[in-house]
Structure 1
Amino acid sequence: MVDSQSAAEPIRYRLIMTLLAAVLATGICLVEPPAGLSPAGQRLGAVVVAMALLWSTQAWPLAVTSLLPLAAFPLLQIQAADEVSKAYMSATILLYFSGFAIAIGVERWGLHERLALFCLRVLGTGPRRIVFAFMFGTALISMWISNTAAALLMLPIALAVLPSISQASLAGKGGEDPAAKEQASNREQRFAVALLLGIAYAASIGGICTLIGTPTNGVYAGYWASAAADRPEIAAKYAVSSGQWFLMFTPISIFLFAAAWMVLCFPLERRWTVGEEAREYIGKRYAALGSMDQAEWAMLGVFIGVAFLWLTRASVEIGSVTLIGWEVVLGSLLSSADGSWDYSGWLHDSTAGLLMMTLMFVIPVRPRGQEHRQFLMDWESIEAKTPWGILLLFGGGFAIAGACSSTGLSAWLGDVLADQLAGLGDGGRITVVTTFVIFLTEFTSNTATIATLLPILESTANSLSLDPRLLMLPATVAASCAFMLPIATPPNAIVFSSNRLTVWQMIKAGLWLNLLSVAVVVCFTLFWVLRVASLGN
């Protein structure tokens, strides 16, 4: 029976936070607007403060808070209802919808488990290599499905492997000596910490290098997509395709992966040996999958096809070399056959995603052990498993970004922030922004944080006469680098729920990785993203 006082706590907390948000918003609306800020911008600021409080405290469900602009903006004459509603069904949101649908197909036919177990079979022998194998498999999967799903997949496998590592094999020739047993127990605990945190960290790091790998990347892409209506030339200049994103941020992801592995494996002794039971368990799990059936092969074809189309759609410039995208090739072929076809501005990565998604509904397959054929995907599965709340969170962020631009709030905040950064060089500015975002997202939703910060950072960069991507890109990547606390990201919370970790263990490893992330993001932004990808001041 639920204790009445315990049941009342969440109700009281939500009501208190709601009242506090309303009081703060009302107070902001009643004071005299600061110099340079329009009344509409002030009212928008009140709504943003209220939403930031509700997002950060999670007093309301994140998706419900994300719906506030649809009601508040028209009522406060910030933006018309028709205008604000467009933010909730943009090309970027459809890109994520198609990505979620394909990921559901991958999970439905077990491709993700096959890939994970294959990586463990090939790479895992000693404790350090087992940690590497789990991290590699998790990172590879999280490039294409959500980091939450990747962590949920790998955690049960890790928890099954841990008991198979006997204390005797870790202790070496310790026999039954109590001191040797204690030493073995300590070693096993250090290994468990490294393995579980490795899964959480790799799930976040792997998503950095693809545009659909983590929601924050999609927020950046959607920001410029939503700006295309009012500022088409600027939006076209700063928009990033999936191929360009992969080229820019894969090196950062690789270095962060290496840094995480070294931080976690540093306490592990090299002379450890792992018993055969761990390897046998992984081998048996993989063998139990059997050979790939017709459904798996078809799903693999869809997966490879959409990945190829995403990565090669737009042309990518690397210094003086240009890699021609398929949209250019297709336009040239059609032009030679029938008039003039130019796909510039017509196609989006969501075009390829939705095309491949619809193919899943018309490809018939016969799964192993079934007499009758069925289609690769059905709508009921999409409807049940799509994280609709994440799509609404995107919409709320895009609505805020659009209103910040139209009301002048982002320009005003940008001027204020620019005054603080004026005396710093590019490296100092990137360091300040990166450090701020990394440690802020330890306590707040990374998607909501980036959705709120991007318009402010663009205006700040404009006030400082900088390329806005100098601040916006590292901030976006930094939002995926919160490694210290269980509440920072879903993968952190998932591995913490195993009851094999303490908060202090997470803080010790996560703090070092947070600091290393600042250095990696700053260095690669300056010397790779901005120079090789032709993103200068």
Structure 2
Amino acid sequence: MGSESKKLIYCILSLLIVLSGKWITPPEGLPQEGLIMLLIALAAAFLWMTEAVAIGVTGLVIILFQSLFGILPIGEALAYIASPVNAVVLVGYLLAGSLVNSGMDQRLSLTIISKMGEKTSHLMLGMMAATAFLSMWMSNTATVAIMVPIGTGILKMAGGQPLKSNYGKALFIGVAFSANIGGMGTPTGTPANPIAIALLSHLAGIELSFLDWTARALPMVILLLPISWILLRKVYPPEIDRVEGGLEAVESQLAEMGAVSREEKRVLFLFGTAITLWLSDSFLSFLPEGWLYIVAVFLTIWIVMPKIGHLHWQEAQQRIGWDVLFLVGGGLSMGAGLQTTGAIPWIAALLENSFGTMPQALAVLAMSAITALGITIFCSLSGTATTFVPIAIGLALTFGWDPVLFALTAGISSSFAYLLPANAAPNAVSYGAGYFRTLDMVKAGVLMMLVSVAVMGLVGAFLLPHLFS
């Protein structure tokens, strides 16, 4: 049976999953609509796991089923595609395109690496730091694509053999890990973050600014990056101590780039303005509500404006992940459906015996662990956040915990994509360099996932409540 035939069968099965809700008697306390909504969520998860259709199409499938079964009117469901959160996702792609077009992305990464010397451990830390920093502001996948040729060049000079070199394994798995870690840091880092912000607004009526998210998420980035560097060096002890000529090669590439160009300066000004505007609503009380999204719309127009912009619209369209925009819309619609049909309160009541007796600190740890396992199954950061953030918020509201903390926990834990190359696009790009096998990533990824869940539990239980009480 061909792959297309299998995908069609998976699609039919997902339809049957939802249709079964018309004949199955719902459990006590769950309305019929709530059961159907849970089956829609299950069908969406099945489509994400099997990759039977593109992730954006799954978002439309959610909206279609909700309208057909009367859970949400079609106009209301479709309106979530135009949710303000997609303005942040959209501008993230355009900012990345501006950075890549100008060459400033490569200059920044090479500059960071050039400061690290020729010791392999220091070069690896430089690569990971550069990847994490760029991933905070642009597509994680694009960031890894930038770093792969730089890392390959370093390994060739060091004599590291593909699939044989421990240093090669550690370096390229480290690049994948640090892309996912860096993406946690800001609302623009990965679509999972604005999804969590939007669901928090829709389900709990709490608005988070750019600084609100970044201040809470940055401790995770700061802690997990050096931890992953140390862990990878323990799991794969480098057989190479120094890369003779490695620093010279990096400096040579910088020299070839010449002085900072006018376009690079313009892009730096664009990024500086974006960050300043996004942070300003935390200090200026007179700014209108929804400033995070207003700035995103303004920057989108700026980037594609004739003469003063950085991308032609035709070029910009090629850089936008349209499938993610549809996925976000479908995910937000699913969150609304789970809430309005009573599915989330029912899940919370179901978990009351286990979660309800837990202290908040332990519940944060459990939520992080469940979400981290989710990314391994769904293989989509956005899909994982879409599924688990509403549940996290629902649990928090039911048991009197902090909904911001739980939305943040599920949102950040959606990026714990350490286990498999297929778990996230950055992993796949790094795997494509040919320096590690799937089993190599699993070996380090299991440890990194356990450590990340533990760190999230500690940060969520002891650091964040004191910083933002």
Find the aligned partners of 2:439 and 2:89 in 1 and give their Cα distance: 35
- Offset at residue 354 of structure 1 (A): 2.2
Within the alignment, does 1:408 sit opposite 2:342 as a pair?
yes
Counterpart of 2:182? 206
94-103 vs 356-365, greater mean Cα deviation: 356-365
Paired letter, 2:214: F
> CA, structure 1 residues 46+282, in 2 after alignment: closer, same or farther (shift >3 Å)?
same
Find the aligned partners of 2:201 and 2:363 in 1 and give their Cα distance: 26
Q: Verify the 8 A CA contact 1:124 1:132 in the aligned structure 2.
A: no
Q: Post-superposition, which runs of at least 4 consecutive aligned residues in structure 1 deviate over 4 A?
A: 185-188
Paired letter, 1:239: E
TM-score under structure 1 normalisation? Answer: 0.83
Q: Verify the 8 A CA contact 1:112 1:141 in the aligned structure 2.
A: yes
Secondary structure of 2:423's partner? coil
Q: Verify the 8 A CA contact 2:200 2:403 in the aligned structure 1.
A: no
Counterpart of 2:413? 478
What is the correspondence of 1:377-388 to structure 2 with a 5 Å cutoff? 377-388=311-322
Counterpart of 1:350? 293
Paired letter, 1:533: F
Find the aligned partners of 2:117 and 2:373 in 1 and give their Cα distance: 33
Counterpart of 2:368? 434
Find the aligned partners of 1:431 and 1:146 in 2 and give their Cα distance: 28
Counterpart of 2:193? 217
- Offset at residue 269 of structure 1 (A): 5.6
Q: Verify the 8 A CA contact 2:162 2:168 in the aligned structure 1.
A: no
Find the aligned partners of 1:140 and 1:308 in 2 and give their Cα distance: 17
Counterpart of 1:196? 172
> CA, structure 1 residues 166+95, in 2 after alignment: closer, same or farther (shift >3 Å)?
closer
Paired letter, 1:348: W
What is the correspondence of 1:491-530 to structure 2 with a 5 Å cutoff? 491-530=426-465
Equivalent of 1:243 in 197, 207, 211: 211
Secondary structure of 1:480's partner? coil
Q: Verify the 8 A CA contact 1:78 1:407 in the aligned structure 2.
A: yes
Within the alignment, does 1:78 sit opposite 2:100 as a pair?
no
- Offset at residue 135 of structure 1 (A): 0.3
Secondary structure of 1:123's partner? coil
243-252 vs 8-17, greater mean Cα deviation: 8-17
Q: Verify the 8 A CA contact 1:113 1:153 in the aligned structure 2.
A: yes
Q: Verify the 8 A CA contact 1:128 1:268 in the aligned structure 2.
A: no
Counterpart of 1:393? 327
Find the aligned partners of 2:79 and 2:306 in 1 and give their Cα distance: 32
Paired letter, 1:313: S
- Offset at residue 77 of structure 1 (A): 0.7
Counterpart of 1:281? 249
Secondary structure of 2:106's partner? helix
Secondary structure of 1:498's partner? coil
Secondary structure of 1:164's partner? helix
Find the aligned partners of 1:203 and 1:9 in 2 and give their Cα distance: 34
Aligned residues: 467
Counterpart of 1:170? none
Within the alignment, does 1:261 sit opposite 2:229 as a pair?
yes
Paired letter, 1:189: S
Find the aligned partners of 1:518 and 1:455 in 2 and give their Cα distance: 19
CA shift digits 1:195-224 (9 cap, x unpaired): 101110110111111111011111111113
Counterpart of 2:119? 126
> CA, structure 1 residues 158+186, in 2 after alignment: closer, same or farther (shift >3 Å)?
closer
Q: Verify the 8 A CA contact 1:91 1:225 in the aligned structure 2.
A: no
Counterpart of 2:423? 488
Q: Verify the 8 A CA contact 1:414 1:457 in the aligned structure 2.
A: no
- Offset at residue 443 of structure 1 (A): 2.4
Find the aligned partners of 1:486 and 1:187 in 2 and give their Cα distance: 15
Find the aligned partners of 2:414 and 2:226 in 1 and give their Cα distance: 19
Counterpart of 1:466? 401
Find the aligned partners of 2:37 and 2:164 in 1 and give their Cα distance: 53
Find the aligned partners of 2:50 and 2:452 in 1 and give their Cα distance: 25
Find the aligned partners of 1:360 and 1:187 in 2 and give their Cα distance: 41
Within the alignment, does 1:149 sit opposite 2:142 as a pair?
yes
Counterpart of 1:12? 5
Q: Verify the 8 A CA contact 2:162 2:435 in the aligned structure 1.
A: no
Find the aligned partners of 2:244 and 2:437 in 1 and give their Cα distance: 26
Find the aligned partners of 1:442 and 1:522 in 2 and give their Cα distance: 19
Find the aligned partners of 1:118 and 1:432 in 2 and give their Cα distance: 40
TM-score under structure 2 normalisation? Answer: 0.95
Secondary structure of 1:360's partner? helix
Counterpart of 1:165? 158
Paired letter, 1:275: E
Counterpart of 1:370? none
Query: Tell me, which stretches of 5 or more residues in structure 2 are unaligned?
Result: none
Find the aligned partners of 2:321 and 2:357 in 1 and give their Cα distance: 43
Secondary structure of 1:209's partner? coil
Q: Verify the 8 A CA contact 2:167 2:239 in the aligned structure 1.
A: no
- Offset at residue 270 of structure 1 (A): 9.4
- Offset at residue 80 of structure 1 (A): 0.6
Higher relative contact order (CA 8 A, sep 6+): 2
Equivalent of 1:58 in 41, 44, 51: 51
Query: Identity over the aligned pairs, expressed in percent?
Result: 24
Q: CA RMSD in A?
A: 2.0
Query: Tell me, which stretches of 5 or more residues in structure 1 are unaligned?
Result: 1-7, 168-184, 228-233, 316-324, 332-342, 366-374
Within the alignment, does 1:303 sit opposite 2:271 as a pair?
yes
Paired letter, 1:198: G
